[in-house]
Structure 1
Amino acid sequence: MIPNMKFYVISIVAIFAALGIGIYIGFTLDAQSIIVEQKEDIAAKLEERFDFLSEENKQLKASIEYVEKERDMYKYFIDSTYEQIVKGKLHGVNVAIIETKSDYMYSGVGQILETAGANIVNITTITDRMTSEELLLGEIYKELDIPLFNNQLIANSIIELTNSILKGEETKLVSKLIEKGFIDVVGLINKPVDYLIIAGGSAREEKDRLNMIDKVIIDTAKSMNKQIIGIEKENSNFSYIEAYKRFRISTVDNVNTNVGKVSLVLAMEGRPGHYGVKPTAEELTPKSSLPPIEYSKER
């Protein structure tokens, strides 16, 4: 009996199907073997990398500990010796400090200046009331019956205040500014000043105030041929140093640190420049190895 054609077709399909299944099963088994080998290889490499990173981490920790230890030694050295570095460098110099904003206190500056031999004549803090022309007019100018030549009450008041401090002569207007709380003064306005320190920096940005107060103080001091330097703390939220540089005075931006205090004294001794740690600084500290005259020539 001759087999039916359908039988042959089914047989051939079954043979090829079995062959395909066999190939698939064989490939799958080989693939699984390859994957297992790859996993083992990846695991070994990851373990090797982890060991390397772990060792590198230990080395970095050791380096950090060494750097921190070295930093602590330098800090101890500076804290122990900085007063001796500045001692007597400003002997007999009469200094006044004007804080143009009440956001930050600069009491530590007076201490290092006294160690350097300077006389702190007075420390003046300008309050926010000084920025109000209405208050100045009503509480100062009208009460004192001062004639108004122009509408620049704030600038006029700052000019007279600066003149009064530098000349050591307390005027009626300045006395009234103290009485009404426009300014706070520690010390007396009774001696001429050789050097003026303007202390800036504020908790928030006030560009108008910089021009209304700080620039007027600087311009007034320059017109009187008085030396002036700008300072602020390292952690001031809004820095005045860039503006002070534009106003062409020397600056120290980290005066709250011992390094900054040394920089202040050395700069006042005759080493003009911009010192500190902020982007506006040009050097960390003046080169004390050079005398003031040679230092100025080198710059």
Structure 2
Amino acid sequence: MVSMKYYIVTIAALFVALGTGILIGVNLNESDFYLRQQQLLLEGIETKFNELQVERESYMTEIDGLIREKEKNSAFIDNLYKEIIKQRLVGYNIAIIKTTDIFYYDDVPILLEEAGANIAIEITYKDRIFNYSEEEKLELYEIFNIYDYNELIAAINDQVVNFLTFGKESEFLTYLIENQWIGYTGNKAILEDSPIHYVVIAGGSLSKEAKTVEEIDLDIINKCKKNVIPVVGIERIDAGYSYIPYYKKEKISTVDNINTIMGKVSLVYIITGINGHFGEGEYSENLIPSLIEY
């Protein structure tokens, strides 16, 4: 009986030892398997990384080529642009009126001078006109008998257009310039000796301000037309609220992308006699004037 128990215990011990050996063996095999799998995964990642490096270098070479090509194209377009506008506006006296000071239009006089024009005057309607204090309102009333906003705007428009037409600077206009209600640069001698051949009115807004358009831009346009001074309306392509539809209703030519080379060419050709609405916005009718005919 004792010997039978001994055999049973011995056999059980053998099975336990065998099971333990099998378990250890399996774990070792699985460990080797996992290590091998990790090694293969790392090798795959390294291979893919090397492929991506080669692909990146290929793209960088292609990008460098495109950059060089873009620089050559830009140089060609710039030279062509200068040839297109060269001497087109010789003998023209131009006035620029900026009805807003929130957009950059300082490149417009540079453009026109490159085309040969004389910039007789630049006038900018400052933001102060729309945000003056009660003290300033009282001062305007005491000096010029002007009390409210509408009277002020109408008076400024009158004086500006009269200055363009006759070359005479009024006391009121001098006051506005000296007190920085409006910005002014120019050559008064040109106005006194020769007429203005064209007025460039630069507008546009960040948001809807139709009242400002009607009271300033459209009033100036109509006053210029009464004095037989042609007007062209321009704005930047990034203007949030376009004045172009208002300008179009006044039957004047327009450019809505004056901050581009195409817009600059359009402006020069409009002044030389081409009519139309040029640019890239929803109110334009042609991208650029047909230069072949001119």
Asked if these proteins are the same fold (TM beyond 0.5), I'd say yes
Q: CA RMSD in A?
A: 3.8
1:101 and 1:201 in contact (8 A); partners too:
yes
* Equivalent in the alignment of 2:47: 48
Aligned in 2, Cα 1:81/1:152: closer, same or farther, shift over 3 Å?
same
For residues 85 and 158 of structure 2, the distance between their equivalents in structure 1, rounded to whole angstroms, comes to 33
* Equivalent in the alignment of 1:230: 234
- Pick from 198, 210, 216 the counterpart of residue 195 of structure 1: 198
For residues 213 and 92 of structure 1, the distance between their equivalents in structure 2, rounded to whole angstroms, comes to 33
Name the % identity. 27
2:94 and 2:118 in contact (8 A); partners too:
yes
Worse overlay, 36-45 or 246-255: 246-255
SS of 1:65's partner is: helix
2:112 and 2:119 in contact (8 A); partners too:
yes
Structure 1 stretches of 5 or more lacking a match?
293-299
* Equivalent in the alignment of 1:178: 177
- Amino acid corresponding to residue 277 of structure 2 in structure 1: P
Aligned in 2, Cα 1:163/1:40: closer, same or farther, shift over 3 Å?
same
Structure 2 stretches of 5 or more lacking a match?
249-253
SS of 1:125's partner is: strand
1:159 aligns with 2:161: no
CA offset at residue 158 of structure 1? 4.3
2:160 and 2:173 in contact (8 A); partners too:
no
1:98 and 1:197 in contact (8 A); partners too:
yes
* Equivalent in the alignment of 2:275: 270
* Equivalent in the alignment of 1:295: none
* Equivalent in the alignment of 1:297: none
SS of 2:241's partner is: helix
- Amino acid corresponding to residue 242 of structure 2 in structure 1: A
For residues 283 and 46 of structure 2, the distance between their equivalents in structure 1, rounded to whole angstroms, comes to 47
1:253 and 1:281 in contact (8 A); partners too:
no
* Equivalent in the alignment of 1:63: 62
Deviations 1:200-247 (A, max 9, x none): 579xx6x58x55655533212443444232234x8xxxx535332453
CA offset at residue 93 of structure 1? 4.0
Worse overlay, 44-53 or 99-108: 99-108
* Equivalent in the alignment of 2:251: none
* Equivalent in the alignment of 2:33: 34
CA offset at residue 65 of structure 1? 0.8
CA offset at residue 59 of structure 1? 0.9
For residues 278 and 24 of structure 2, the distance between their equivalents in structure 1, rounded to whole angstroms, comes to 82
CA offset at residue 122 of structure 1? 0.5
1:94 and 1:118 in contact (8 A); partners too:
yes
SS of 1:89's partner is: coil
CA offset at residue 18 of structure 1? 2.5
For residues 267 and 30 of structure 1, the distance between their equivalents in structure 2, rounded to whole angstroms, comes to 85
Return the TM-score normalized by structure 1: 0.72
2:100 and 2:203 in contact (8 A); partners too:
yes
SS of 2:59's partner is: helix
- Amino acid corresponding to residue 233 of structure 2 in structure 1: I
Return the TM-score normalized by structure 2: 0.73
Aligned in 2, Cα 1:114/1:22: closer, same or farther, shift over 3 Å?
same
Worse overlay, 266-275 or 175-184: 266-275
* Equivalent in the alignment of 1:286: 288
CA offset at residue 96 of structure 1? 1.4
- Amino acid corresponding to residue 165 of structure 2 in structure 1: K
Alignment map for 1:1-299 (pairs within 5 Å): 1-3=1-3, 10-11=9-10, 13-102=12-101, 106-133=105-132, 134=134, 137-146=137-146, 152-168=150-166, 170-187=169-186, 188=188, 190=192, 193-199=196-202, 207=207, 210-211=209-210, 213-224=212-223, 225=225, 226-232=230-236, 239-240=238-239, 242-248=241-247, 250-253=254-257, 255=259, 261-266=264-269, 268=271, 269-275=274-280, 286-289=288-291, 291=293
Equivalent residue pairs, number = 276
Aligned in 2, Cα 1:53/1:283: closer, same or farther, shift over 3 Å?
farther
For residues 214 and 15 of structure 2, the distance between their equivalents in structure 1, rounded to whole angstroms, comes to 96
CA offset at residue 76 of structure 1? 2.1
SS of 2:288's partner is: coil
Aligned in 2, Cα 1:241/1:160: closer, same or farther, shift over 3 Å?
farther
- Amino acid corresponding to residue 239 of structure 2 in structure 1: Y
